[in-house]
């Protein structure tokens, strides 16, 4: 019987080093600040909007995007000029630029281009739809087995 009690005592959870046995463990989650809801809000609840967290976008819209395409099999690089809203064909891809923006003067050189790309072999569904960034081409890259596209700049003509 004594062996059983020793074994039971050895298996009982012991307090961590430096922690008293009577202390409550730290909570795993902290409650949200008042007015902030994570996930679905209860019916009739209004979430407080914090203006400081929404950055003001001051991008300058341009009518033309300059892109660069790479045929990974042939190793051929092609510069593409794509007017906003007009489909442009590159190899078997149809590229439609929906928006081209750049920061205002004096805030660095970059381009943000919204593209929709359709491959003629895969049907009418876009193989890529989203923003690409000239300064970070790998941030939102088009995942295509043969072609790569990246933004170079926005232009006025």
Alpha-carbon distances of 19 from 11, 22, 23, 28, 142, rounded to whole Å: 18, 8, 7, 17, 53
Q: What is the torsional sign of CA 75, 133, 99, 154?
A: negative
- Say how many C-beta atoms besides its own lie within 10 A of residue 9's C-beta: 9
CB atoms within 10 A of CB 126: 16
CA distance 76 to 65: 20
**Which pLDDT belongs to residue 14?**
55
Query: Is 94 in contact with 126 (CB distance < 8 Å)?
Result: no
Q: How do the pLDDT tens digits run along the chain, 157 residues long?
A: 555 555 555 555 555 555 555 566 665 556 666 766 666 655 545 555 555 555 566 688 899 999 999 999 999 999 999 999 999 999 999 999 999 998 887 677 788 899 999 998 888 888 999 999 888 877 877 888 899 998 999 988 7
The b-or-e profile of 102-121 (16+ CB within 10 A means b, else e) is: beeeeeeebbbbbbebbbee
């Amino acid at each position: 019987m004594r062996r059983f009690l020793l074994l039971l005592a050895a298996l009982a959870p012991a307090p961590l080093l430096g922690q008293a046995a009577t202390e409550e463990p730290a909570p795993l989650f902290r409650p949200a600040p008042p007015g902030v809801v994570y996930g679905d809000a209860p019916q009739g609840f209004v979430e407080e909007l914090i203006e400081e967290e929404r950055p003001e976008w001051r991008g300058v819209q341009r009518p033309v995007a300059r892109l660069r395409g790479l045929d990974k099999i042939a190793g051929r690089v092609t510069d593409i000029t794509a007017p906003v809203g007009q489909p442009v064909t590159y190899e078997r891809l149809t590229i439609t630029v929906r928006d081209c923006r750049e920061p205002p003067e004096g805030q660095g050189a970059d381009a943000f281009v919204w593209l929709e790309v359709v491959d003629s072999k895969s049907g009418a569904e876009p193989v890529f739809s989203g923003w690409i960034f000239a300064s970070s081409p790998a941030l939102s890259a088009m995942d295509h087995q043969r072609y790569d596209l990246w933004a170079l700049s926005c232009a006025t003509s």
